[in-house]
Structure 1
Amino acid sequence: MDNSLFRSLVQLGDDCLVLGQRLCEWCGRAPTIEVDLSLSNLALDMIGQATLLLDYAGEVEGSGRNADRLAFHRDAEQFRNALLVEQPNGDFARTIVRHFLYATYAEALFEQLSHSRADRLAEIAAKTVKELRYHAEYSADWIVRLGDGTADSRSRILDGLEWHWRFIDDLFHDDESWIDCAERGIVPLRQALRTDFEQAVGAVLAKAGLVMPEKVRGVEGGRGGRHSEHLSMMLAIMQVLPRAHPAATW
């Protein structure tokens, strides 16, 4: 088994899975019907991406696990998602900030992954980056609308930025497995994407009349399985049915 590739694929897949589940929590609760449908469609994209990546990870592992098994039969400490994506939804503005930061990062990442020396990953990334381009544009539009809107909407966007900015270091963390894959041309180093990410974020915030948050002490650990309590609570809901009936087929 290629341990580094397996672990890197799990990181990618877990980001998509956890954020997709978070967006699913908005179903029937969004500010308008149109937004409800939009967030549900974003969630479906994320779950679809997670399925492709985790199925591939299961094949690389060679132990008979597929995407469903990896999604529903691992405990929180076995997940390798970035801390950003597991954060609670909060209000609509906080959700939009979280998605904007992730999508801006992920669009650049999957663009690079579309040129991976691992052909299967390159194919997945080529499909995924088209979806992420829309995600980044959609969330950026809301950042501008809310940031340049009322005093209340602006305050909520600022609150979302303050809450999520501490998790950016974790989002760009390159662990040993990821570095090994980068040296083989399978993935790019995340840190190499950070300058472009910050420039893209800064440009959107400027349109909204906002400035980049000041650098803060980062909170890290997600790639190593050290998560907040929020992930365990989310997984308890997400996994309850397949855990109760582990031998069932759907």
Structure 2
Amino acid sequence: MVVRSMLPDVEIPPVSVHEYLFGDLTGDELDRVAVVDGVSGAQTSFRSLLAQIDAVAGAVAARGFGVGDVVALHAPNVPAYVPVFHGLLRAGVTVTTINALSPSPDITKQLLDSGARLVITVSALLLAAEAGAKGAGLAHEHLVVLDGDSAVAAEYTSLADLLADPHPAPEVSFDPATHLAVLPYSSGTTGHPKGVMLTHTNLVANVAQCFAIGVERDDVVPCVLPFFHNDGSSETLESWTHARDHG
């Protein structure tokens, strides 16, 4: 017996995450608030967020990363996570998100298994990221520290360094239904952690499904789950999209 929802079927457009979330923003929508940092209260508009996303996409593309490459993002819920995550997707990169609490041996395993060629982390997690990257055979220049707030972190490329020489966002082409957007890893409850292969269409579908929950104009959706977890990423995508479509 097939049980159908009482709600209308959800339309899932065949587009990338970037195009679905940001592709049709115009006029006043660009000046609406996209993200609020719960700690500092700092607000980022869609216009500013898009500029940051394009800057990150251009920077990683200029360093040779694009469709077919995997980059590891190892950070807690910080404001920089947003443009970096979406900048990587904008460049066609697959993002493998690493648990902020992972010890270095687990980081090494995930880097090797995912085939990541670059690790982006923060100062507070640098020691684990550094050891994990070394174990995976990644050289010094393949580790970027978002904030660079410590003497040790100063030895590495920071986000500011990465963006110092501006490059335009690249033109990329891929099939959203088959191209991996995100490669998070399971907790390993029944064995070793396994990569969960999520395409752009998977994420677009997840966000499209959220439209039925009834978020209205000017509602604020708190993003309390860790961004490195798929549910955290989905929750965040949901809030940005509702802010756009109901603004």
Structure 2 length-normalised TM: 0.29
| Structure ranking higher in helix proportion | 1
TM-score, length-scaled by structure 1: 0.28
